[in-house]
Amino acid sequence: MAEFKHKDIIALRDLNKEEIELLLSTAESMREINSREIKKVPTLRGRTIINLFYEASTRTRTSFEIAGKRLSADTVNITTASSSATKGETLADTALNLLAMKPDIIVMRHAVSGSHYFLSEKLPSCSIINAGDGAHEHPSQGLLDMLTMKDKFGRLDGLKVAIVGDITHSRVARSNIQGLTKMGSAVFLAGPPTMMPPGVERLGNVTVCDSMKEAIQDADVVMMLRIQQERQGKTLMPNTREYSRYFGLNPENVKLAKPDAMVMHPGPINRGVEMSSCVVDGDQSWILKQVENGVAVRMAMLYHVCGGELE
């Protein structure tokens, strides 16, 4: 059986297939806890987890918090509103101050890609879990997406997964590309060329499609990414209305995918923009299952980094 030796989980790029399989298998076991009346095991009793969020997030932060609590760890949440970040303290100083409180794990979300590697270097005695860094990776999302696909198909090998939206700015897309490629799936990307980063087809088993139609044709999974006018700025598309016309998922084009295809979205959803409401709430939607799997996946991540080798 594979062993998990990393002290941190920062990117799925850093993990091999066996390690991803181990995390997914542990997550499957963790689900049992979430389904029973007493949703708690004593595994991480006495461990302290700090959820350090430099970017707003309800879903991911709550999910990590519940995951920690179900493993009996003490979890503390720090968000930018209440941290020293607004007073101009550097990440390095914040990290050292937190270290003085002896946390076992820091779960961080940060707007700057790669800042978790920086943090990890500063804190060799603490495990770091990435809850999203800039446009780099969002490994817990990638893992929960893969777990959800595995729930439906029983395998990841040989799946055709379409990811549609702003790939350039999507850490979800990058984690899925890294993870799915290692697990034997094929990723097909679609989006306006303004949102397609150069070289993305070389990140893994990735095909960049000319149209959304081409990407979702006969797909097993259609994953839609969030589009926000604020985030994509003024230059990447005319407006969300036109975007939706060409890259929105609706009851018509979803039929291009395989009849039993699953529809996914990392949330939060802009109904009527990247997905029409009837698809969001339709039979093929696995969106709520993704959220449910999020807790189990994060429990698995917390559990395994605690057994990782500190430097």
Tokens of 62: 């709550």
Sequence-distant (6+) residues with CB within 8 A of 290 are 144, 145, 148, 264, 265, 266, 267
Handedness of CA 10, 12, 16, 21 (dihedral sign): positive
Tell me how long the chain is. Answer: 311
**Per CB under 8 A, does 37 bind other proteins?**
yes
Which residues between 222 and 251 bind other proteins (CB under 8 A)? Answer: none
Which residues between 84 and 143 bind other proteins (CB under 8 A)? Answer: 90-92, 110-115, 117-118, 133-137
Residue type, 177: I
Beta strands 221-224 and 160-164: pairing type?
parallel
**Per CB under 8 A, does 147 bind other proteins?**
no
**Per CB under 8 A, does 69 bind other proteins?**
no
**Per CB under 8 A, does 307 bind other proteins?**
yes
Min dist. Cβ of residue 76 to other proteins (A) = 20
Among 19-27, 61-69, 141-149, 208-216, which window interacts with other proteins (CB under 8 A)? 19-27
Count other Cβ atoms within 10 Å, centred on residue 249. 25
Nearer to other proteins, 22 or 219 (CB): 22
Order of all β-strands in the sheet with 262-264:
206-208, 186-190, 160-164, 221-224, 262-264
Q: How many residues bind to other proteins according to rule CB under 8 A?
A: 57
Which string of x and - marks every residue 177-206 that binds other proteins (by CB under 8 A)? --------------------xxxx-xx---
**Per CB under 8 A, does 40 bind other proteins?**
yes
Which residues between 150 and 169 bind other proteins (CB under 8 A)? Answer: 168
Among 14, 17, 33, 272, binds other proteins (CB under 8 A): 33
**Per CB under 8 A, does 25 bind other proteins?**
yes
Tokens of 80: 């930018």
**Per CB under 8 A, does 4 bind other proteins?**
yes
Place of tokens 């800039």: 134
Please state the φ and ψ torsions of residue 137, each to the nearest 5 degrees. -145, 160
Which residues between 43 and 62 bind other proteins (CB under 8 A)? Answer: 43-44
3-state SS, residue 35: helix
Nearer to other proteins, 112 or 278 (CB): 112
**Per CB under 8 A, does 172 bind other proteins?**
no
Helix ranges (DSSP H) in 115-170 = 115-122, 139-153
Sequence-distant (6+) residues with CB within 8 A of 43 are 71, 72, 303
Which residues between 277 and 306 bind other proteins (CB under 8 A)? Answer: 300, 303-304, 306
Min dist. Cβ of residue 277 to other proteins (A) = 31
**Per CB under 8 A, does 3 bind other proteins?**
yes
3-state SS, residue 67: helix
Task: Compute the distance between CA of residue 154 and CA of residue 186 in angstroms, rounded to an integer.
Answer: 16
Nearer to other proteins, 243 or 303 (CB): 303
3-state helix, strand, coil in the chain (%, to 5): 45, 15, 40
Nearer to other proteins, 71 or 212 (CB): 71
Closest CA to 29 of 307, 300, 304: 300
Give residues in contact with other proteins (CB under 8 A): 1-5, 7, 13, 22, 25-26, 28-30, 32-33, 36-38, 40-44, 71, 90-92, 110-115, 117-118, 133-137, 168, 171, 174, 197-200, 202-203, 300, 303-304, 306-310
